């Protein structure tokens, strides 16, 4: 009897694996067939970028596409977000796949036939608008994933929730949005999501390569505002007042010693950067106040708390030593993007199968931030990086970074991103809950 049971079980498992392999072969072929359409979507979105919380046309394009596939669609989530639900023909887990939609206030200067010519206003300043971080590729890939999976709906053992998210780059002043708002509005509920995947294209990672890191993969990003108040005086008589600009300079130097002398950098990386400093209106007037604004990047919660406290203490005491005062405000922003180690380990073989194990690289954490982190605080998540660097680039060539006018990614690598997301979806579903 035991032998019969073992044989029956083995045959059942063999049948499941055969069916899974057959489905994977089918979706890979469909991916190849849809590649041209996916690239067209990417180029159209790139040519028509929209700023955070203003992704109206992009959202409409996505919603129209999902509805045409028979996918249940919800719009207006966190202002402009679009959520699609595809229920497979078999019972199984609920998996969320996420793409961000927003562009940046950057004027493009890449010579492309689909380069952005869009102009807008940001913080009261006229600016160009550009997909300078590759979100156009993310949207196009997920639209293609939705189309392929919709075609094999009856064979899917589970449910897929497609999350097209606005405002990953941050909301306009005074507004809410992004992943945090989507989570608050229940995007991971009804049906309840078991896990979530997301990818990000990388301009300095070769096409058809992947990068990943279990645990803390991207940094928490917090904002600090320090207002130094002194005593106004004539520029020719600095001793008659308290110069907040000089005090601010001392505080900036002091902030850097928090990282270089008080942070255990062998544990995790950390960064403090001052991005803005302003004070005064005239060359010969020592002002009454100076303000600085900056970013704090951390990958460890204990280090994050320690650095926050040291910023407050450093600024306050340096100001007091000069007879000034310092008001310190720290605004919590985006938490650490944490890849669930068990989920990462489970999905690694899929990436290696799609791209080849030699093209999948374990990397150090990045000090950039991603609001995908808000999803990872609720459910197990896996966020990985897709190569977009053209093969024509040689070692030593300058590679324009993200968020710059010359940012460029080769869309020939999108097919690898598409196949990876399809394969990961099917593999995860067949693992069960």
Over residues 83-92, the pLDDT tens digits come to 999 999 999 9
In a domain, 149, yes or no: yes
Give the structural domain span for 341.
11-219+336-431
Residues contacting 254, CB < 8 A, separation 6+: 314, 315, 318
Both 368 and 389 in one domain: the answer is: yes
Share of the chain above pLDDT 70, in %: 96
Average pLDDT over residues 125-144: 98
The whole-model pTM stands at: 0.90
Which of 307, 334, 361 marks a domain boundary? 334
Q: For residues 300 and 75, give the distance between their C-alpha atoms in angstroms, rounded to a whole number.
A: 35
Both 364 and 421 in one domain: the answer is: yes
Both 176 and 201 in one domain: the answer is: yes
pLDDT computed for residue 18 by the predictor: 63
Which of 285, 304, 334 marks a domain boundary? 334
Average pLDDT over residues 140-163: 98
Average confidence score pLDDT of the chain: 95
In a domain, 2, yes or no: no
pLDDT computed for residue 12 by the predictor: 43
Give me the number of domains the chain comprises.
Answer: 2
Average pLDDT over residues 258-287: 96
Both 103 and 205 in one domain: the answer is: yes
DSSP state of 129: -
Contact present, 81 and 105 (Cβ < 8 Å):
no
Residue 5 has pLDDT above 90, yes or no: no
pLDDT computed for residue 52 by the predictor: 98
pLDDT range class, residue 10, cuts 50, 70, 90: very low
Radius of gyration of the chain (CA): 25
Both 325 and 393 in one domain: the answer is: no
Both 293 and 371 in one domain: the answer is: no
In a domain, 381, yes or no: yes
Both 178 and 264 in one domain: the answer is: no
Both 51 and 171 in one domain: the answer is: yes
pLDDT computed for residue 2 by the predictor: 63
pLDDT computed for residue 16 by the predictor: 56
Which of 302, 334, 366 marks a domain boundary? 334
Tell me the catalytic residues: 102, 168
Residue 179 has pLDDT above 80, yes or no: yes
Average pLDDT over residues 224-242: 97
In 3D space, the residue among 298, 302, 300, 325 whose CA is nearest the CA of residue 312 turns out to be: 325
In 3D space, the residue among 429, 358, 344, 367 whose CA is nearest the CA of residue 387 turns out to be: 358
pLDDT computed for residue 1 by the predictor: 61
In a domain, 3, yes or no: no
Both 328 and 254 in one domain: the answer is: yes
Find the CATH number of the domain harbouring 296. Answer: 3.30.70.360
Both 108 and 226 in one domain: the answer is: no
pLDDT digits (tens, 9 = 90+) for 290-348: 999 999 999 999 999 999 999 999 999 999 999 999 999 999 999 999 999 999 999 99
Find the CATH number of the domain harbouring 214. Answer: 3.40.630.10
Both 80 and 212 in one domain: the answer is: yes
Both 288 and 402 in one domain: the answer is: no
SS3 for 341?
helix
pLDDT computed for residue 396 by the predictor: 86
Neighbours of 123 (CB within 10 A): 8
In a domain, 367, yes or no: yes
In a domain, 78, yes or no: yes
Residues contacting 285, CB < 8 A, separation 6+: 232, 233, 234, 235
In a domain, 1, yes or no: no
pLDDT range class, residue 432, cuts 50, 70, 90: confident
Q: What are the contacts of 112-117 at 24+ separation with CB within 8 A?
A: 112/46, 112/408, 114/43, 114/44, 114/46, 114/47, 115/46, 115/47, 116/46, 116/47, 116/48, 116/49, 117/47
Share of the chain above pLDDT 90, in %: 92
Dihedral of the alpha carbons of 252, 257, 258, 260, in degrees to the nearest 10:
130
pLDDT computed for residue 9 by the predictor: 40
Q: For residues 212 and 199, give the distance between their C-alpha atoms in angstroms, rounded to a whole number.
A: 10
| Strand spans (E) along 230-363 | 233-234, 270-278, 285-286, 289-298, 325-334, 337-339, 360-362
In a domain, 6, yes or no: no
């Amino acid at each position: 009897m035991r032998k019969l049971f073992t044989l029956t079980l083995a045959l059942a498992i063999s049948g499941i694996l055969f069916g899974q392999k057959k489905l994977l072969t089918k979706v890979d072929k469909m991916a190849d067939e849809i590649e041209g359409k996916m690239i067209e979507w990417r180029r159209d979105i790139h040519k028509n970028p929209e700023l955070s919380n203003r992704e109206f046309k992009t959202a409409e394009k996505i919603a129209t596409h999902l509805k045409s596939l028979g996918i249940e669609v919800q719009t207006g989530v966190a202002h402009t977000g679009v959520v699609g639900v595809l229920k497979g023909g078999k019972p199984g887990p609920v998996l969320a796949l996420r793409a961000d939609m927003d562009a940046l206030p950057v004027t493009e200067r890449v010579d492309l036939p689909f380069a952005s010519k869009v102009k807008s206003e940001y913080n009261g300043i006229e600016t160009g608008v550009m997909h300078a971080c590759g979100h156009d590729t993310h949207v196009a890939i997920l639209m293609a994933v939705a189309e392929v999976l919709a075609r094999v709906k009856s064979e899917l053992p589970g449910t897929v929730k497609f999350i097209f998210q606005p405002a990953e780059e941050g909301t306009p002043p005074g507004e809410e949005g992004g992943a945090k708002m989507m989570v608050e509005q229940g995007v991971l509920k009804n049906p309840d999501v078991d896990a979530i995947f997301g990818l990000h294209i990388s301009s300095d990672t070769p096409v058809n390569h992947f990068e990943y890191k279990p645990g803390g993969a991207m940094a928490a990003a917090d904002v600090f505002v320090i207002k130094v108040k002194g005593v106004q005086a004539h520029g020719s008589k600095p001793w008659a007042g308290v110069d907040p600009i000089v005090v601010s300079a001392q505080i900036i130097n002091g902030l850097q010693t928090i990282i270089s002398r008080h942070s255990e950098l062998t544990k995790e990386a950390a960064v403090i950067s001052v991005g803005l400093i302003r004070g005064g209106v005239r060359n010969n007037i020592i002002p009454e106040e100076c303000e600085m604004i900056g970013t704090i990047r951390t990958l460890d919660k204990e280090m994050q708390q320690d650095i926050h406290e040291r910023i407050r203490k450093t600024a306050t005491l340096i100001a007091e030593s000069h007879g000034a005062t310092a008001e310190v405000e720290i605004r919590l922003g985006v938490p650490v993007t944490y890849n669930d180690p068990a989920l990462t380990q489970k999905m690694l073989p899929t990436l290696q199968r799609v791209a080849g194990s030699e093209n999948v690289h374990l990397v150090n954490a990045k000090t950039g931030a991603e609001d995908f982190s808000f999803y990872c605080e609720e459910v197990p998540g896996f966020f990985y990086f897709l190569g977009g660097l053209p093969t024509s680039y040689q070692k030593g060539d300058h590679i324009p970074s993200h968020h710059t006018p010359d940012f460029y990614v080769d869309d020939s690598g999108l097919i690898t991103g598409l196949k990876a997301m399809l394969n990961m979806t099917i593999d995860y579903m067949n693992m069960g809950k």
